[in-house]
Structure 1
């Protein structure tokens, strides 16, 4: 059964703090722990492990281009982070519980630019059948219902249901970055696609369109809801988080809090 739901978000200091902390953790996470405290090459330069981690943290947080809203990394990353929160196993209170082994916010091709490809990818098992999450996030304050961003979500998600080669290429590129423990689950789907064994897997089309209270309307689900039968027998879960403050003001608060924290 398809799910279409709106979540009202009251933007408080605590919410912005939480967004900033989660974002810094996602962006600056180090894949493998290390200790340089006893390495003379570092000791001779006067650097400890904690100092080095602080430098890495500061340099992995992106530089913002707020003069070009569509290229504002904080705008697109906030949408993707909220999408991740809704569908991640670590936040089961939101109703989904996918294992997301690699958060794409962490693995940017260009650190200061929005990412390409699937925004969020994950997997879980329902009985013996694997379910793959294909997540797409957009942020829009357009005073039009549905906004253009809703159509863009539909057009992108439609590619995965209409073009199996496109789907296969996307998850192949994702799976090659994973540990064997996680990669084998995506490889199962790749093999199933190769063999046209569609009974092996299901797809959840996860959608997140961030709006604010001044521009939201029930029509914002757009073609994903009107043409939801295009995605049968798979499922759609479309969430519209709606801020009580304007999107611009919320993103500014988010960016300023991140900047404050990394300069502490």
Structure 2
């Protein structure tokens, strides 16, 4: 009996010491204090150091596209770091060309803000917004794919047919991590007060949130629009569109836009 009590006491003490060390390291090693982030030479922000550049920008309502949600696997969240970004990580190099590496391009999800930093991003990203939306409709299209219609209420959304939005999946039971995931818009760009997304269940954090926790009438958060794949009005030639599953979403958006505007190609 005494042996069991002694073991419990030792384990408790070790746990307490480890917790104290983790708290101390977070306050010292991981505490970079306030730093200055300069964007495009003329915009300055005082931010708290220690987070990724992607998260730091997001905290200032500047949204960089990131299809993988900041996991370093999609390569979308590229920004040009002029100064203060530190060395390029091994996780970034496979997704950056030699020209990009030589030009100071970094993956913002992998670049940590530890000191004053200067970066360049496309000016149009300052127009990207995050919206509080309401799930107006959820429809089970197949055993694994749902169509979700999000209402912007009195707000308006302007996008090009073929572009995508990022959906925020908050923490929920069984998951403590807040993530963003990219989904192509599947509705007409003529509808300024709602978007529809096709979301397939993969077992990931975001799709589990959508398929098992999100309900009609719930509030959600979207930011965007993003993407260079979209319908171009200035090209009147024939087009070929191919897709399957949730990959049909941008094609549906393009075809609906063409139908709404009596465009034949």
Scaled by the length of structure 2, the TM-score of the pair is 0.24
Higher helix proportion (structure 1 or 2) = 1
Higher strand proportion (structure 1 or 2) = 2
